Copies of this chain bind each other. A is one copy, B any other.
Amino acid sequence: MADEINLLVTLNSGYLDPLKTMLYSVHVNNPDERFRLWLLHASLTEAEVASVRQLTTAFGWALSNERVATDFAAGVPLIKRYPKEMYFRLLSGQILPTTVKRVIYLDPDLLVINPLRPLWTVDLQGHLLAAAVHRGVTGIMDGVNQLRLGTTTSYFNSGVMVMDLDQARAKIRLHDIIATIQKYESDLILPDQDILNFLYGADILGIPEEVWNYDTRKYLSYQTRSLNQHEIHWVMANTAIIHYCGTPKPWELASDSKFTGLFLHYQRLQQRLVARLNRD
């Protein structure tokens, strides 16, 4: 029997409904897998956690509710607009039990539309974690971000990661994160993602974005870059994770991309399931 897959999510209540839709998509497309969901948060109410548990129970998954004490990372300077929860993914090695050796971290603003097992079993080749770069057509943003952050490595998106937690425990240090934020606050655009790249970019294994972290804004770029190979039929057959980066989010009325409808349909199926569970 295949081993249990650890899924890590970190959020506040603002992303609860997208989280449920994302989890529902994981379940529908991985019906034979056993999952354990690690729900890291600082402020979800008991009712909100119970509403997540209602779903994981319906899926046959295990749920570990990891409420992080409010004084954890009390020394981390908060950057306005960004909630503290966004650092939990970097610090998950310190927060989760030491028996947990590997997790897949997933942002809530994505859909899983194909099996996750190949990601779960990826050979990290000794790296701290695996993540994908969002290159666009030319990869020019790599250079811009290297200049901005003074790095020489590619700029990785932090929305999908496979993390080796023992390495994270050894390498990722709260005081490094605090020092970096204090020194570079004015230069940080996406704080946690910038810190991931600035501090740990050289220790990240790159995985194909078209498969594991497909940026829905870039359908035409992917198609162009692949000489038309990666059109919609390829995507639906090969892409496992589609990521609704940037704004508008698909649940917002202004969103009208090629992938908006798919998200809304999953959201509807999830909400219909919740209505059934509440009725039974």
| A residues in contact (CB < 8 Å) with B | 28-29, 31-32, 113-114, 231-233, 235-237, 253, 255-256, 258-262, 264-265, 268-269, 276
Contact = CB atoms under 8 A, between A and B. Distances in A.
B258 A237 contact: no
Contacts of A259: 261
Contacts of A113: 265, 268
Contacts of A262: 261-262, 265
Contacts of A114: 268
Nearest to A223: B256
21 contacts: A31-B276, A113-B265, A113-B268, A114-B268, A231-B253, A232-B255, A232-B256, A232-B261, A232-B264, A233-B253, A233-B255, A233-B260, A235-B261, A236-B264, A236-B265, A236-B268, A237-B264, A258-B258, A258-B261, A259-B261, A261-B262
B256 A236 contact: no
Nearest to A29: B269
A276 B32 contact: yes
A268 B256 CA distance: 23
Contacts of A28: 269
Main secondary structure of the interface of A (DSSP, over half): helix
Nearest to A237: B268
Nearest to A252: B233
Contacts of A237: 264, 268
Contacts of A256: 231-232
A237 B251 CA distance: 12
Among A232, A235, A260, A262: residue with most chain B CB under 10 A: A232
A44 B259 CA distance: 36
A1 to B, nearest CB: 15
A232 B41 CA distance: 33
A4 to B, nearest CB: 20
Among A236, A255, A262: residue with most chain B CB under 10 A: A236
A256 B276 CA distance: 34
Given A232-B260, A262-B265, 8 more contacts: A29-B269, A32-B276, A233-B260, A236-B265, A258-B261, A259-B261, A261-B261, A261-B262
A259 B256 CA distance: 12
Contacts of A264: 232-233, 236-237
A29 B28 CA distance: 13
A116 to B, nearest CB: 14
A49 B264 CA distance: 34
